[in-house]
């Protein structure tokens, strides 16, 4: 029985040492394995275990990636715990069913959208080639449209200036002229009335 246990322990250590060698190869490449580590199958289990532990500690101290993985394993232990993953919460099935049902409509919508995309007919390559061939013409049309937009902007600016000038000269200016004429007519009418009144008084006195 003791022999079987020792044999099993040595086989387990061999597997662990093989995994450690693969990990060292993955992290550092060829030729970096710890040659001082006693990996001979004839060595005692204790010696090999101590050597393996020493190699693991050295790997941890030399590799920042291993340090980060160990830190994550320590802080997120449940995420790495296979027993916790396989453990079924008694109320988990009902919660999962509720979650699935709450997203059923969204799932149906997504499925319908994916089917619609799948049913879309891809156009022939010749049509795409024809469209690409029109690229120079479209670029020229864009340049021409930009030039027309600039011309229209200039026309609108000049039109606004003309309207402002017409308002100042044609409306305000004419209004001032009419007002001046009206004042002159009023003065002339007042002068005529005064002269007519003097003539009437002169006639009455004679």
What's the pLDDT tens digit per position in 99-121?
667 767 777 787 788 778 777 77
- For 117-143, the pLDDT digits (tens) are 777 777 777 777 888 888 899 999 999
Rounded-to-integer distance, Cα 205 and Cα 26, Å:
139
All structural domains of the chain with their residue ranges: 2-86, 137-205
Rounded-to-integer distance, Cα 13 and Cα 40, Å:
11
In degrees and rounded to multiples of 5, residue 102 shows phi and psi of -70, -25
The predicted pLDDT at position 80 comes to 56
The predicted pLDDT at position 203 comes to 79
Q: Average the pLDDT over 49-76 and give the result.
A: 80
Q: Which residue has the tokens 């029985």?
A: 1
For residues 20 and 49, the answer to whether their CB atoms sit within 8 Å is no
Residue 196 has pLDDT above 60, yes or no: yes
The predicted pLDDT at position 122 comes to 75
Alpha-carbon separation of residue 182 from 49, 86, 178, 186 (angstroms):
122, 106, 6, 6
């Amino acid at each position: 029985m003791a022999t079987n246990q020792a044999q099993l322990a040595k086989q387990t250590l061999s597997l662990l040492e093989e995994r450690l060698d693969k990990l060292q190869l993955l992290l550092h490449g060829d030729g970096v394995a710890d040659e001082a580590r006693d990996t001979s199958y004839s060595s005692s289990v204790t010696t090999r275990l101590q050597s393996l532990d020493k190699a693991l500690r050295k790997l941890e101290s030399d590799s920042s990636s291993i340090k980060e993985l160990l830190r994550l394993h320590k802080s997120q232990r449940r995420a790495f715990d296979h027993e916790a993953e396989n453990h079924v919460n008694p109320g988990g099935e009902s919660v999962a069913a509720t979650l699935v049902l709450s997203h059923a409509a969204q799932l149906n919508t997504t499925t319908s959208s994916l089917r619609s995309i799948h049913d879309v007919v891809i156009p022939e390559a010749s049509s795409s080639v024809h469209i690409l061939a029109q690229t120079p013409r479209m670029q020229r049309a864009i340049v021409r449209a930009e030039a027309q937009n600039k011309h229209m902007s200039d026309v609108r600016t000049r039109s606004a200036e003309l309207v402002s000038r017409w308002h100042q000269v044609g409306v305000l200016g004419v209004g001032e002229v009419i007002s001046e004429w009206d004042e002159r007519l009023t003065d002339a009418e007042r002068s005529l009335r005064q002269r007519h009144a003097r003539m009437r008084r002169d006639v009455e006195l004679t």
